[in-house]
Copies of this chain bind each other. A is one copy, B any other.
Amino acid sequence: MTLMGLLGIELPLIQAPLAGVQGSALCIAASAAGALGSLPAAMLAPDALRAELATIRAATSRPFNLNFFCHAAPPPDAAREAAWRSALEPYYREFGIDPAGIAAGPGRRPFDAEAAALVAEFRPPVVSFHFGLPAPELMAQVKSAGAVVLSSATTVDEARWLEAHGADVIIAQGLEAGGHRGHFLSLDLSLQAGTFALLPQVVGAVRVPVVAAGGIADADGVAAAMALGAAGVQVGTAFMLCAEATTPPLHRAALKSPAAAHTALTNLYTGRPARGLLTRLMRELGPLSDVVPEFPLATAALAPLRARAEAAGLTDFSPLWCGQNASGCREMPAAELVRELARGFQR
């Protein structure tokens, strides 16, 4: 069965879930254009998620992808939190922030029983996970709701693990990709390879369809990924300037600037490595640091700094997620981007 048949879509193209810079509008636009639109759930409270799902259902009967992070929520760790706030102390002083007033917060929601119940209720045709797969009983609920299940692999070992644990489609996430790395078997980033190396090795290791992600920005990239054996492609960064994305103005400006040429993996914003444009915080504390609390607890202590800086027009403390190939970022309707990318399938 082709990926199109499996997912019920016209084009083997997935609009990557972009937590923090999109909601239902981009998902609806991508699906309407024949791709598989995605809705990222990780940063939505249950009520907001329910509202977004209702919006999608009202707008389209086409397939869409509901995306979750499936990390285990870490226990609070007062010592790590204190060390992190201590590392940020000079910034609190600079911006006149009293760290005593900062509430600890989870930052990103993991997939849990409540989310599984929402899946059972709304029955999204496709559900994708980042950071592995949920516990078997939750996974069983997703499958029994009729969802095709996708998850990301950053190594061949992870691809084999995902296939063995029930993933229907594997996203080979090359090191070029923006946002959070999807690794879950090892924290060693050196195990992770670029799309050119990872994709064909994953294709050779599993029997389920493999979707290429990382560095794909235009029709040429789509054609290249298909030449390497992909069953489809997932594109994220190129959608970030689309009118239907909610990418904040400062983030949009950075993506259009020469700064878009320089990304790095950083764990400073959430506690897990993710690829984004270089910022002052990354230059001064990292970009990878040992003093950061466990994912997703790093976010709370940064929130007031980010708010204060952004109000002054600065991105010093903002996560500016972006892949290594921002050349596809242009201000255009998502449908036009989908049409451009689709030309890569016709070669």
Contacts and interface: CB of A to CB of B under 8 A. Distances in A.
A145 interface: no
Given A227-B223, A227-B227, A200 B264 contact: no
Contact of A175 (B194, B224, B262, B287): B194
- This protein's copies in its complex: 2
A191 interface: yes
Q: Categorize the interface residue count of chain A.
A: 35 or more
A221 B217 CA distance: 18
A201 to B, nearest CB: 6
Interface stretch (A134-142, A298-306, A323-331): A323-331
A37 to B, nearest CB: 23
Pick from A174, A176, A224, A261 the residue with the most CB of B within 10 Å.
A224
Pick from A194, A198, A325 the residue with the most CB of B within 10 Å.
A194
A114 to B, nearest CB: 37
Interface string A163-195: 000000000001110000000000000110111
Contacts of A347: 227
Interface in A197-256: 197-198, 200-201, 204, 214-218, 220-221, 223-225, 227-229
Contacts of A216: 196
A191 B228 contact: no
Interface of A: 155-157, 174-176, 190-191, 193-198, 200-201, 204, 214-218, 220-221, 223-225, 227-229, 261-265, 278, 287, 323-325, 327, 347
